[in-house]
Structure 1
Amino acid sequence: MTTKVFTIQPNKRLRAVEEIMKWAHVRHVPVVDERGRLVGIVSHRDLMGAAISTLQVRISEVERLQHNAAVEVRQLMHFPTATIGPDERVQRAAHLMRSLKIGCLPVLEDQHLVGIVTEADLLHIVEELPDASLALRI
């Protein structure tokens, strides 16, 4: 679990999410209300879906930035299909993420965001396994 989570509020703009993702090198940004409670999540895939592609329409970089500055986070965020508690087993997190086809799980304690489990976190755990348990035969 990653406990240093970069968050954003729903009234912020698409451009702000884009900057957070670039600066922090993350692909998921939880959306929280003024009390720190989870209200949604924005993924890099959501960002790409909301962006104007320069491949489809001939627009300038200025126009693209203006578009991103006009769209609010609440317009593209989605509420997570699942969350997990901080004391859950890693296998449960992996199962939920794989079965629901999601790239992260917000970690909630008493309805407050305390962390996030991402695919990268799970890969890090696999890297730390003893060599004997790394056989790829299924």
Structure 2
Amino acid sequence: MILLRKKRSIPLRAEDIMTQPPVTASMNTPLREISKLMIDKRIGSVLIVDEEGKLRGIVTERDIVFACAQGWDAETRQAWEVMTENPITVKRDENILEIIKKMRDLNVRHMPVVDEEGKPVGVISSRDIMDIVLTILGLATMLKETA
């Protein structure tokens, strides 16, 4: 009689790997200030929120490059002019594998994590994904060496 081994999985969720708190700015924030936030915080995106703190958009490094390539003045141009409006989001309890598939399929490197009210609570970046993959691979290697 062949016994089938139960497939095991690690139930990682968005809140387990997201970077928090998210870095946010208003829609009228100048691009120079957005760029400075990215450099100072060593991040690749800034979430744009309204007066109530609800997510309205995201400005990424790609958006800043676009603005520079267009010759836009970073002092006078504002976040709302380059942001991706109503970005795709995930909830805290969403499965990491589903998030990775979503990011790959949509070709995005930053995925905002929002609460039930639509307020950002974190961001999952491709770097966060690489960090968890490296951790899991490191654990697997350690287990293999001790077996």
Runs of 4+ in 1 over 2 A off after TM superposition: none
Q: Is the 8 A contact 1:82 1:96 kept in 2?
A: no
Distance 1:105 1:47, change over 3 A: same
Secondary structure at 2:108's aligned position in 1? coil
Does residue 34 of structure 2 align to residue 17 of structure 1?
Answer: yes
Secondary structure at 1:40's aligned position in 2? strand
Q: Alpha-carbon deviations, 1:16-36, whole Å to 9, x = none?
A: 101001100001111001111
Provide the identity percentage. 27
Q: Alpha-carbon deviations, 1:46-89, whole Å to 9, x = none?
A: 00110158xxx8xxxxxx8xx11010111011125411000011
Match of 1:95 among 92, 98, 101: 101
Name structure 1 gaps, 5 residues minimum.
58-63, 133-138
CA distance in 2, matches of 1:131, 1:52: 44
TM-score (norm 1): 0.82
TM-score (norm 2): 0.77
CA distance in 2, matches of 1:93, 1:4: 19
Report the residue type matching 1:119 in the other structure.
Answer: S
Name structure 2 gaps, 5 residues minimum.
1-17, 142-147
Match of 1:70 among 72, 76, 87: 76
CA distance in 2, matches of 1:81, 1:5: 15
Please tell me the root mean square deviation across aligned C-alpha atoms, in Å. 1.9
Does residue 11 of structure 2 align to residue 5 of structure 1?
Answer: no
Secondary structure at 1:70's aligned position in 2? coil
Q: Which of the pair has more CA radius of gyration?
A: 2
Secondary structure at 1:68's aligned position in 2? coil
Aligned residues: 122
